[in-house]
Structure 1
Amino acid sequence: MKKIPLLMLLSAIIFLSLHPTLSYAQDDSLPTKRIVGYFAEWNIYLENNYYEVSDIPWDMVTHINYAFAKIENGRIAIIDKWAAIQKPFGDDTWDTPIRGHFGQLIKYKEQYPHVKTLISVGGWTESKYFSDVALTEESRNTFADSCVEFIRTYRFDGVDIDWEYPVSGGMPENIRRPEDKQNFTLLLKCLREKLDAAGAEDGKHYLLTIAAPAGSFNIKNTEPEIYHQYLDFINIMTYDYSGSWENVANHLAPLYMNPNDPSYPERKEKFNVDWTVKEYLRLGVPAEKINVGVPYYAAGWQEVNGGINGLFGTSSKPLSSTQFHYINSLLKSPDLGFTRYWDEYAMVPYLWNPESATFYSYEDEISLKNKCDYVIENNLGGIMIWELSGDYPAEGGTTLTSVIYDSFTSFKDEIYGDLNGDGKVNSSDLAILKRYMLRAISDFPIPEGRKLADLNRDGNVNSTDYSILKRYILKAIDNIPVDD
């Protein structure tokens, strides 16, 4: 066996510890893409949505972002000390050094060492003071130093900044300045430098990430073309394209534009995942740094008038958001009067109850699989989940998270034309495609069915694809897919 000089070996160990992506996912059971789940601190107080660290599907995620910490006197601070570090869980005793959610994160990380945990600062309700901490070199240093101290004390692997939003937007009481645009970049630069210095001392790489806006207006108030160099990855909040603040029932998180959307042109063209991702790519953000955000909740409207089975109809009664597992329960109870519909343009589902004129836009297994495929096909970094409790174990298991995990761990070759997933292309698949074309069925039997039915890869499933599949089965052509 060839001997390796000790100095060279030590250098290699240090290098790999500081650059964990080089050795990432060597185990076939680990995802090949990131699966970043936000964990909401407050869910332990919700009777109908109780969720704690032990409920996280640890074997299916790569990163957990703890939501949230706040800014207090220019420093990072815990919001709820009882939930974060005091409440006993499991075998915690009075003298357990760190109890609460933080203590549980530490314990579970020992069992799942591939999972990285980050403390997320801010969010919708705690972004008031970001403008102040980003304002001067002194304020940036103070905040960054406190973040380093925080993650060392509570054993996090990094910091996630969720400033909603620089310059404008967010809660009415937020402090905002025109120079937030440049100061946000300077804040990230300062954090990167402080985290790298701490990592060099501690022999590890500390992560720095952000939750980034999806809307064009908020994107313009930041500098992705500059700040991406300081970040390990970017979680884009590609959801809330529509919601309770509007009186039109529209999609919460459409993958693509629906050309029939009656909205004004800017909204119609830009309020979708595809436009947002392409905008960040256009601005120079590397594809592998981009995580597509997905919602584990639904947007709803009552008293909807007009539209296509409610879609694009007007409403005088928007509803507050509700978790995916609640939507799942509606689907399991046909007597409640909800019917699932599919927008073949936007590639997302929605529910409609004509009797109560109630509309829900949400993410389901099929639309989520399409987004996972989108991530893979565009060489993006992964998926971000807001937030994990929506896929509630007590109400249907880890259905959505399993879709993401399976998508990013599957090495099975996709077979174009195999529309039922049996590994063969035959008359059964032709019958499925015919029924889909005649609208006898609204979806294919397998999540990736629509992709595998697009046999000329032009982005549509139509009579051309049916003709190709029929010719292939009759051996008139030798191969599919056929490039248009």
Structure 2
Amino acid sequence: APTTPGTPAVTGSDANSISLGWAASTDDVGVTAYDVYNGTALAATVTTPSATVGNLAPDTSYTFTVRARDAAGNVSPASGPVTGRTKPGGTNPGALKIGYFTQWSIYARGYSVKKLDTSGSAGRLTTLNYAFANIHPTTKQCFITNKAAGNDSDPNAGDGAGDAWADYGKGWDAGNSVAGTTDTWDQKLAGNFNQLKQLKAKYPNLRIQISIGGWSYSKWFSDAAATDASRKALVSSCIDMYIKGNLPVIDGRGGAGSAAGIFDGIDLDWEWPNSDGHLGNVFRPADKANYTLLAQEFRRQLDALGATTGKHYSLSAFLPADPAKITAGIDVPGLFGAFDFATIQGYDYHGAWEMTTNQQSALKVAAGDPSTPDRRFSSEIAINAYVNGGAPKSKLTLGIPFYGRGWTGVPRGTTNGLFQSATGPAPGSYENGFEDYHKLKDLAAGGGYTLYRDPVAGFAYLYNGTVLYTYDDPTEIARKTAWIKSQGLAGAMVWSFDGDTASGELMAAVDNGLR
């Protein structure tokens, strides 16, 4: 008979289901199935060491065991039991609430992991994505350097290679630490990673993922995904570094297992397969098929690791909203078979790279939009493209911006600045044409700006006679989350926490709206 499966662990739950993972059994002729029992009743039969048991009552405890079967019909002893509880019922109790914490937010913006705790945002999240991991230009594998701190030991890294000091080198004092402790010089793990570890200890239901790529670090995705060997190498390196926690030793920090247990999964932010993104990015027609193969390789290797640890490691992605980019680079059925969920870009529909003002995150195309048909973007258009392409709504989340995009030199016209010509990007605190929500809130309160809304299309903008900024505030987030629920989507993602107020009012609006 097969060996006894590992005692299951509860890896997730909602009002009507509980997800389980366990260490795999071994057998001389091969394990063919696992039977999951809810008490004495057979609840599920699966072929991998993880399962989701559905059709459960809200706010109720259930006890599960697992037995393995082999090709000869032999059955293992029952695993140890595990008890899990479904979440309370509600309009959308299992909604995903995902947010990005940016590596660089600790600098000019002064936004630390501790502020996720003190603002209340951490307690409102289901998933935190840490942005971003990079891909090496030569090896095409995950890597970390200290380029931003002026200590780049890798001559092939290139500019903007990473910031190991922010990730796990910087020491935090007690006053700025989640746990209220001061980092010591001889710790193997400090920086943001250690703060995430402390945050996870305080919020044990919070899942943390490492995000790979992003706008600046997607240059080598195409090369890394190009062959079976390169895909295996990239996936193995990312899992080794972030999931297993084997960080390179830099300035005395890091080492084998130093970051183990922090990251529960991987988020792929390839911007964009078979479409241009950041200047200099590599992209090719084969990206569309290769992205699916890459995602499937991540799924295989994550599941193989999970079979030894009894844990389900999640895999998600950030995907484009532009229908042309979807057609060019996204194999919807193939990708979604590998993903636990995927976020559709719900912002940057328009910005100061165009010389006509417009909305950046509307639910629907506004009446009077002067854009050509191929440049009219909205959340409705984007979500429909994926649903019509075969994506399950239960795996779709919509991105929500915690910032605005703006223009200057804008005449009032007959629309209070909307759909008018502009002379350039609006002044911004960190980047022209871009401003964090908490600063836009101050402008709306007393900066000589007037707030306008389009309740039909679903967006807001500020205008002072010269400068126009389009953005989301709590009112628009309430409208947006109501739409997410009406569409039966899985939830929402936010970019990024450092744009919110000290009290986390935007994250509170997301949480309240998805209840």
Q: TM-score, normalised by structure 1?
A: 0.78
Report the equivalent of 1:65. 129
- Cα distance per residue 1:270-308 (max 9 Å; x no partner): x00011111110011010100100000001111113351
- Cα distance per residue 1:355-386 (max 9 Å; x no partner): xx111100011111111111111110110001
- Are the structure 2 counterparts of residues 241 and 101 from structure 1 closer, same or farther at C-alpha, using a change threshold of 3 Å? same
- Cα distance per residue 1:221-255 (max 9 Å; x no partner): 21112210000000111110001211011001001
Alignment equivalent of 2:105, drawn from 39, 43, 53: 43
- Determine if the alignment matches structure 1 residue 108 to structure 2 residue 199: yes
Which runs of 4 or more aligned residues in structure 1 lie more than 6 Å from their structure 2 counterparts after TM superposition? 6-9, 12-15, 20-25
Pick the structure with more strand per residue. 2
Deviation at 1:93, TM superposition (A): 1.2
Counterpart residue identity of residue 138, structure 1: A
Partner Cα separation in structure 2 for residue 24 and residue 361 of structure 1 = 42
- Determine if the alignment matches structure 1 residue 83 to structure 2 residue 166: yes
- Are the structure 2 counterparts of residues 100 and 304 from structure 1 closer, same or farther at C-alpha, using a change threshold of 3 Å? same
- Determine if the alignment matches structure 1 residue 322 to structure 2 residue 435: yes
* Root mean square deviation of aligned Cα: 2.1
- SS of match in other structure, 2:237: helix
Partner Cα separation in structure 2 for residue 237 and residue 68 of structure 1 = 17
- Cα distance per residue 1:413-439 (max 9 Å; x no partner): xxxxxxxxxxxxxxxxxxxxxxxxxxx
Counterpart residue identity of residue 415, structure 2: I
Give the 5 Å matches for 1:169-248: 169-221=276-328, 222-248=330-356
Report the equivalent of 2:506. 400
Is the contact between residue 347 and residue 399 of structure 2 (CA under 8 Å) also seen in structure 1?
yes
The total of aligned residue pairs comes to 393
Partner Cα separation in structure 2 for residue 11 and residue 301 of structure 1 = 54
Report the equivalent of 1:478. none
- Cα distance per residue 1:69-110 (max 9 Å; x no partner): 100122112321100011112322123231111111111101
Is the contact between residue 9 and residue 310 of structure 2 (CA under 8 Å) also seen in structure 1?
no
Is the contact between residue 8 and residue 310 of structure 2 (CA under 8 Å) also seen in structure 1?
no
Report the equivalent of 1:462. none
Alignment equivalent of 2:479, drawn from 366, 370, 374: 370
Partner Cα separation in structure 2 for residue 9 and residue 174 of structure 1 = 44
- Are the structure 2 counterparts of residues 53 and 31 from structure 1 closer, same or farther at C-alpha, using a change threshold of 3 Å? farther
Partner Cα separation in structure 2 for residue 83 and residue 19 of structure 1 = 37
- Are the structure 2 counterparts of residues 21 and 31 from structure 1 closer, same or farther at C-alpha, using a change threshold of 3 Å? farther
Partner Cα separation in structure 1 for residue 333 and residue 491 of structure 2 = 20
- Are the structure 2 counterparts of residues 146 and 293 from structure 1 closer, same or farther at C-alpha, using a change threshold of 3 Å? same
Unaligned runs of 5+ in 1: 1-5, 410-484
Give the 5 Å matches for 1:397-476: 397-409=503-515
Unaligned runs of 5+ in 2: 12-18, 22-49, 55-83, 145-161, 246-258, 427-432
Partner Cα separation in structure 2 for residue 238 and residue 229 of structure 1 = 22
- Determine if the alignment matches structure 1 residue 55 to structure 2 residue 119: no
- Determine if the alignment matches structure 1 residue 93 to structure 2 residue 184: yes
- Determine if the alignment matches structure 1 residue 379 to structure 2 residue 443: no
Q: TM-score, normalised by structure 2?
A: 0.73
Is the contact between residue 66 and residue 119 of structure 1 (CA under 8 Å) also seen in structure 2?
yes
Counterpart residue identity of residue 321, structure 1: F
- Are the structure 2 counterparts of residues 100 and 261 from structure 1 closer, same or farther at C-alpha, using a change threshold of 3 Å? same
Is the contact between residue 6 and residue 310 of structure 2 (CA under 8 Å) also seen in structure 1?
no
- SS of match in other structure, 1:405: helix
Report the equivalent of 1:273. 379
Deviation at 1:317, TM superposition (A): 1.4
